[in-house]
Amino acid sequence: MQKLRNIAIIAHVDHGKTTLVDKILHSCSIFRDNEQTGDLILDNNDLERERGITIVSKNVSVQYKDVKINIIDTPGHADFGGEVERVLKMADGVLLLCDAFEGAMPQTRFVTQKALALGLKPIVVVNKVDKENCRPEEVYEQIFELFFNLEATEDQLDFPVIYGSSKQGWMSTDWKVPTTDIFALLDAVVANIPAAPTNDGTLQMQITSLDYSSFVGRIAIGRVHRGSIKENQPVTLIKRDGKIVKSRVKELYTFEGLGKIRTQEVKSGDICAVVGIDGFEIGDTIADFEAPEQLPVIKIDEPTMNMLFTINNSPFFGKEGKFVTSQRIRERLYKEMEKNLALKVVETESPDSYLVYGRGILHLSVLIETMRREGYEIQVGQPQVIVKEIDGKKCEPIETLIVDVPGEVAGKVIELVTQRKGELLIMEPKGDLQHLEFEIPSRGIIGLRNNVLTATAGEAIMAHRFKAYEPWKGNIPGRLNGVLVSMDKGNTTAYSIDKLQDRGRFFVDPGVDIYEGQILGEHIRDNDLVINIVKGKALTNMRASGTDDNTRIAPAIKFSLEEAMEYIQADEYIEITPASMRLRKIYLTENERKINAKKFQ
């Protein structure tokens, strides 16, 4: 038996996965005593730290007693399900992390289903038992029921449970008896997760993720399924479509702590990084040079949403970004497809535009935000759900939506969701909150979060996951209000904004450069209004005491990228540059908009 365990940590977003990995790393003395590490060690890119979520799965390993434990930290958000599905192939067991108050959330169900289907052994960790009004016993019952509904085997249903608080750094088999360390969890991993199997025979290794180094290029990461892999060994790369390419391993690394160490040979069961193989993609198999055998190709759920990406053709193009041509945007999108399996890029009739397919608003917004930080200027259109024809019927993606809200505002939430063709399935108390479950078309979720948070004064907790394709539910009303559109270019003035405040709420501050056709605010009525806010006050040589009004301007509304994506309509674009984000009409002049109005009806 190998002294090696491979585990993936799965959980709903914000249930404490990355914090738990921090504590495991500290407990196993990965760092020197005087080393400054900070929190959320694995969320190492800026976007992950700012948003407080994991976007890309990471590999680390720790040595506990005499066992090496490979840990894979996975994203918790439904939009990054493609990332989770492929890395589960590297594990023999999973740590299912659950909040002691919230219990099993929709995303927990999604990844648990994938893990159980692969036959992985689960350990359930009920986290955050130090929270007020936590309910660990109820959560345990809920998880057992979830496993049963997902058709877990007898062995999987007989799962060990560990209680604790990863923030406070303790784990125990009894939540009423706190300890001072997390060794109870590591002991459970060593005792219950099966050791990585040793399969003798010719080499087989599937590439399940990739890394990049500016010195050696792309690095293939995966688990050796059978046999062993050595440095300088000639190998065969079998592509997803069965095509065979001969290659050679230049360097070989295994994971040690947070880094990698070079090694001569990696035996079956261990996770390693291979340098020197060219032209590989995720899902390819590295096999024996003489008698290559392919492993089953990774299947990833299909995208449910698409967006139009196009070059920036506004009057301000090229002022702030480095990469503005369609060729550069095309190269960047195709490069992203290599490592982002749930993403698909389709060329359109126009050479300047591409349709990008993804798992949801967050999935696409992370790509846009990353490109923006790299210096790209792009424009994106309204997100559209992907409609399919199944058995001659028009079908659309339907999602399960879960909302936890204070009881007194539950009625408002139900009203908002049912307006968007949502159907209430379950309504029950959960602690001091009301727990609501709906089935709703994916179209209905776009733009819903803002409305729900406004109606509940920010107290709603929302989560959703893709369920299935079902028959089209009919028309869903879009945005209720029109927008205020600029008729002129120039610098905005406080005087003009002040005079037009009764017409709506503004998205721009005084003293900002704007152009004709830019969206400046939200109109109070349902039609669009063309306005001029670059006009200054007419000056005279007379001074009149008391007649000059002081301008009192309400603060401008500032959208996040996701909010802007949910806000725009079919005849609008978001212009995104490294320094700014503007909303605009596709056709900038009022005359063009009137001529092309029928296109968007």
Q: Tell me the binding residues.
A: 14-19, 127-130
DSSP code per residue over 190-244: HHHSPPPP---SS-EEEEEEEEEETTTEEEEEEEEEESEEETT-EEEEEPTTS-E
DSSP code per residue over 352-385: TEEEEEESSHHHHHHHHHHHHHTTB-EEE---EE
d(CA 193, CA 7): 8
Q: Which residues are annotated as a binding site for GTP?
A: 14-19, 127-130
To which H or E segment does residue 564 belong? helix 561-567
Q: Do the Cβ atoms of 207 and 218 come closer than 8 Å?
A: no
Q: Do the Cβ atoms of 74 and 84 come closer than 8 Å?
A: yes
d(CA 513, CA 492): 7
d(CA 213, CA 128): 37
Task: Give me the helix-helix angle, 17-27 and 183-192, nearest 10°.
Answer: 90
Closest CA to 374 of 43, 24, 46: 46
For residues 90, 94, 99 and 103, what is the CA-based torsion angle, rounded to 10 degrees?
110
Cα four-point dihedral sign 17, 403, 424, 363: negative
Closest CA to 129 of 178, 76, 180: 178
d(CA 107, CA 565): 22
Environment class of 251 (CB within 10 Å of its CB; exposed 0-12, middle 13-18, buried 19+):
middle
Q: Do the Cβ atoms of 96 and 11 come closer than 8 Å?
A: yes
Environment class of 505 (CB within 10 Å of its CB; exposed 0-12, middle 13-18, buried 19+):
middle
- Going by their DSSP bridges, the two strands 581-585 and 572-576 should be labelled as antiparallel
